[in-house]
Amino acid sequence: MANYISLYSGSSGNCSVIEDNGKFILIDVGKSARITTNAIKDIGLDLKNLQGVLISHEHSDHISGLKVFLKKLNVPVYSSAATLDYLADNDLVPTHIQLEDMTFAGHNIGEFFVKGFETPHDSIACMGFDIHTKKGTRMTMATDLGFVTDDILYHFCGTDLAVLESNYDEMMLRENENYPYYLKTRIASNRGHLSNSQFSNAAVKIIGSGVKKLHLCHLSNNNNTPSTALSQLAITAMTNGIDVAKDLAVVKANRRHEITEPTQF
C-alpha cells in the first residue's frame, strides 16, 4: 500500500510525501531545505529515492525552500506551464533541474501516475493533484482554492484518500482585529481559501461518493483550529446523515509543525 504523510501544513509552509515501497514524491516545499530534509529523514525515507516534486502554485508557503532543497538533487519539478515559467524567470529553482509541464493528461512519475487539475486561487496558476498507484489505488489533494468547482468535486469523488483545504472559520476571520479588511476579503473570495463550512459541504459529497479517508489541510493559524474545523465537519455531516466517527476510517486535521502518521491508500 502507498502512504500519504503531511510533513507540515499551513500558511507558514506546506509539504506532503506520497510514498510506495520506499520511493516517493513531494507536493510543495514551503519551508527551509533543512526542515524538509530532516522531516524526510525522520520518517525513514532516503532522498535518493525521491522521484519528483509537484508544485501546486508559486506562493511562498509552497515554494520557499524549493531552490536550496533541490541544489544537490536531480529530480524533475512538475507544475503548470505558467508556474514553471514563473519559477524559472524568478530564479526560484536551480538551473539544472528539469521542469515538466503537468498537463491534465498526466505523467508517470516513478511509482505513480499523476494528473493535475485547476483550482481557483489568486496565483498565476494553481493545481490540485490526482495521484494513482500501480496497484490501482488513488489519492486526491487540493490545498488552495476559493471554492469547489464541479471539476474539482469530480476528481475527489470515489478517491481512496481525500486531502482538502479547510482554511478558516468564518466567525474567527470576521472577528480577527489583526487582519485588515482587504485581507479578510481576499481570503474569503472565490480566489482565496476554503472556509470550514465550504470544506464540510464538499466533504459531505465526497464521503457520499464512498470516500472513507479524509485529511483536512492548510488550516489557518490565526483563523482556525483543528478542533473547530473537525467540529464543523461533524455537524455538517450529521445534518446529512453521516456519522464521521463511524462512517470514516480516517479523519485527520494536518498540523502546521507536526508530521502526521502515514495514511495508507
pLDDT of residue 253: 98
pLDDT, mean over the chain: 97
- Provide φ and ψ at 108, rounded to 5°: -80, 120
Cell numbers representing residue 86 in the block: 514563473
pLDDT of residue 70: 98
Looking at the predicted structure, is the pLDDT value of residue 199 above 90? yes
How do residues 24-63 score in pLDDT, each as one tens digit?
999 999 999 999 999 999 999 999 999 999 999 999 999 9
Q: What is the DSSP letter of 98?
A: -
Looking at the predicted structure, is the pLDDT value of residue 215 above 90? yes
- Provide φ and ψ at 120, rounded to 5°: -80, 110
CA distance 158 to 28: 24
pLDDT of residue 256: 94
Contact 259, 39 (CB under 8 A): yes
Looking at the predicted structure, is the pLDDT value of residue 242 above 90? yes
Looking at the predicted structure, is the pLDDT value of residue 105 above 90? no
Paired sense of beta strands 161-165 and 138-142, if any: parallel
Contact 109, 19 (CB under 8 A): no
In terms of DSSP H, where are the helices of 14-169? Answer: 33-42, 60-63, 66-69, 81-89, 150-156
CA distance 231 to 247: 15
pLDDT of residue 104: 83
pLDDT of residue 103: 82
CB atoms within 10 A of CB 261: 11
How do residues 145-194 score in pLDDT, each as one tens digit?
999 999 999 999 999 999 999 999 999 999 999 999 999 999 999 999 99
CA distance 83 to 93: 11
CB atoms within 10 A of CB 139: 26
Kindly give, in sequence order, each residue whose CB lies less than 8 Å from that of residue 40, ignoring residues fewer than 6 positions away. Answer: 7, 17, 47
pLDDT of residue 84: 98
pLDDT of residue 118: 97
Amino acid at position 3, single letter: N
Sign of CA dihedral 257, 161, 103, 124: negative
Maximum distance among all Cα pairs of the chain, rounded to whole angstroms: 53
CA distance 124 to 126: 7
pLDDT of residue 5: 98
pLDDT of residue 82: 98
pLDDT of residue 251: 98
Cα 203 to Cα 105, 121, 173, 194: the distances in Å are: 25, 19, 21, 12
